[in-house]
Structure 1
């Protein structure tokens, strides 16, 4: 009798090609011999990326795949082990087998380890006004053949996605910033034909708008920094559809909390129908959050 495969496994992948989707969004297409085993639920599917440090050809990873992969990774030298970041899958294609990840780029291209936006599942590789962090630097300079590691599901039904509207949902509300555009794109593609959806996406520049294909009856509002209302204000001013809603709210932590508070307290949404995710926290990197998890004194 053989053991059942772990629900998540490590994959070694290499850059096949890159594209600049918008001035602030870079697409990296990855390939690997065993990508046929990788799975995704679509929607807002999360994976872990492990990036090399400067001077490394590929990330240093645990020698064996263990169920307690996180502990195995933590046991490695922090100055050598792969730099872990959480990202949303934009697409996983078949024939050819390719993994597509979109990176939202902010910050100075040649900066140091400054603040990063990729503190959760979001695809922001650098906070606005901050120096570029490791994910931003890697995405900006990725070339064909560059190798990274990915921890990803091997089953389409897995715990690493959040968009799960219950039966009886009449319409969908989505809000996001640039870090969550790949997730919004996946969610919109997954909606059934004619499903009413109201969508607000906050971006830094009007040039960063994207075409987001969907069969849903979606009204997408792009909120451009310094010229449009803040996300919470835009949602507060909107006339929403009748019926039972399901809301998915993601992006910068403070904005996410404010939108959720409005929907539950002012709009009367059942809190169980509002899924919210702080993809990043202003002024904080994923490295910092990992240190806090290990030593809460780091957050003081």
Structure 2
């Protein structure tokens, strides 16, 4: 493990043969499973071909033994060394992932599921970018690992505007890219109150390049909704040109039940996936 910034740690995992099966797309999501207290490794069902049966068996594990599950982005893959890098936001002992990363040692073991077509986009992000003239990225510190992979994967000279909210200047990162990227760092200060307000203001004030935009939004769910409303209602961006994910929720964790707003977001994502799939099929048959 190494510290990328004071509150961001990069953990390198021995992924074995799995590393060779991970593609080159940016923003690839995986599920990590963290052991409960008293466990050396997370208790998980035996792997099998039917994911739904596996998931039913996972949910059947008693709650005090069932691992915590959290979603993460693959930051980098080294196929020769068979390793995977994942970045963790360190925010004290508020959650199982941060607690684990704070004390991680070389022999520690986690469970991992993915990357998987079950939560992949119907149209690869690279294809969405290729169909647009420039890319807008907006997210908070939890989205920074994914934003890094996106910036680093840009084609030669491709324009992008990134607005990123972090705690302070020490949390800023640098990226190597072939694109033409303008990054505006927003320093949050205290969290909460005021989380997301600076990010939303930065996007509102941003000067957009001309042409078709593809917007990628991620971070706290309420902020992501506000960003989408601004882009669609104030900027006139087509809903189909916005990729959005609420990574986390104020005062709620992934262990808590979804809110009505969460369900609405999920419904919109499903509908968007259907539309994109239909468009892709139409192009193939055209």
CA drift of 1:37 comes to 4.4
Q: TM-score, normalised by structure 2?
A: 0.81
CA drift of 1:160 comes to 2.5
Aligned counterpart, 1:98? 83
Q: For 1:22 and 1:166, locate their aligned partners in 2 and report how far apart those are by CA, in whole Å.
A: 29
Q: For 1:288 and 1:207, locate their aligned partners in 2 and report how far apart those are by CA, in whole Å.
A: 32
Flag the 1:53–1:261 CA change in 2: closer, same or farther, 3 A. same
Q: For 1:235 and 1:33, locate their aligned partners in 2 and report how far apart those are by CA, in whole Å.
A: 41
Flag the 1:273–1:215 CA change in 2: closer, same or farther, 3 A. same
Aligned counterpart, 1:136? 98
Q: For 2:25 and 2:13, locate their aligned partners in 1 and report how far apart those are by CA, in whole Å.
A: 17
Flag the 1:219–1:169 CA change in 2: closer, same or farther, 3 A. same
Contact persistence 1:38–1:152 (CA under 8 A)? no
Q: TM-score, normalised by structure 1?
A: 0.78
Aligned counterpart, 2:34? 51
Aligned counterpart, 1:185? 148
Structure 1 alignment gaps of length 5 or more? 1-17, 110-131
Q: Is the partner of 2:72 in helix, strand or coil? A: strand
Q: For 1:279 and 1:105, locate their aligned partners in 2 and report how far apart those are by CA, in whole Å.
A: 15
Tell whether 2:27 aligns with 1:67.
no
Aligned counterpart, 2:213? 245
Q: CA RMSD in A?
A: 2.3
Does 1 or 2 have the higher relative contact order (CA < 8 Å, sep 6+)?
A: 1
Q: Is the partner of 1:241 in helix, strand or coil? A: coil
Aligned counterpart, 1:275? 243
Q: In structure 2, which of residues 59, 72, 86 is the aligned counterpart of residue 87 of structure 1?
A: 72
CA drift of 1:181 comes to 0.4
Deviations 1:242-299 (A, max 9, x none): 0111000111111111111111111111111011111111110111137x79xx9xxx
Deviations 1:169-220 (A, max 9, x none): 1000000100000000111111101011000000011100111221110001
Q: For 1:226 and 1:134, locate their aligned partners in 2 and report how far apart those are by CA, in whole Å.
A: 24
Q: For 1:187 and 1:221, locate their aligned partners in 2 and report how far apart those are by CA, in whole Å.
A: 16
Q: Following TM superposition, where does structure 1 have runs of at least 4 consecutive aligned residues deviating by more than 3 angstroms?
A: 161-164, 226-229
CA drift of 1:167 comes to 4.3
Aligned counterpart, 1:8? none
Tell whether 2:7 aligns with 1:30.
no
Tell whether 2:92 aligns with 1:151.
no
Q: Is the partner of 2:255 in helix, strand or coil? A: helix
Q: For 1:159 and 1:80, locate their aligned partners in 2 and report how far apart those are by CA, in whole Å.
A: 26
Contact persistence 1:174–1:198 (CA under 8 A)? yes
Q: What are the residue-to-residue correspondences of 1:141-220 with 2, within 5 Å?
A: 141-153=103-115, 159-160=119-120, 163=125, 165=128, 167-220=130-183
Larger helix proportion of the pair: 2
Q: Is the partner of 1:34 in helix, strand or coil? A: helix
* Count, aligned residues: 251
Contact persistence 1:35–1:97 (CA under 8 A)? yes
Q: In structure 2, which of residues 254, 261, 275 is the aligned counterpart of residue 286 of structure 1?
A: 254
Structure 2 alignment gaps of length 5 or more? 191-195, 264-286
CA drift of 1:42 comes to 3.1
